[in-house]
Amino acid sequence: MQIKHAFIATALALTLGACGDNGQQAAQDAAAKAQEAAAATQAAAQKAADAARATAQAAQAAAADAATATANAATATTQAAADAVGNAADAAGHAVDAAKDAAGNAVDAAKDAVNKAADDAKDATKDDNGGH
């Protein structure tokens, strides 16, 4: 949800940034940070998906061991599955943290772009009014 807000803020910044070069550069910076946020989120989600696949494989191996009644092997494989679940949970937590951080950075950059655009608009208005 925060990434969606960052994209909206970036679009707003781009619109307001058209008033001046500084505002436009700030808007471009905000857009780049929004793209970085999306890439970081995608990478973190991929790690979580990989961990989930490992969990599924470990669970399948545990089921196969249980079906062959190899109690010791099933116990070891079940432990591996439990470890994989823990790793998946950690990866998901890191994905959420990375997404929050990246979205926060993108939102901050968009806010800066909007503020710069507003300042440029004020300066342009002062110049048009003869400095008054």
12 pLDDT more than 70: no
pLDDT in tens, 27-80: 777 778 878 877 888 888 888 888 888 888 888 887 777 676 666 766 777 788
Helices (H) and strands (E) in the chain — how many of each? 3, 0
d(CA 54, CA 40): 21
d(CA 71, CA 76): 9
Average per-residue pLDDT for the chain: 75
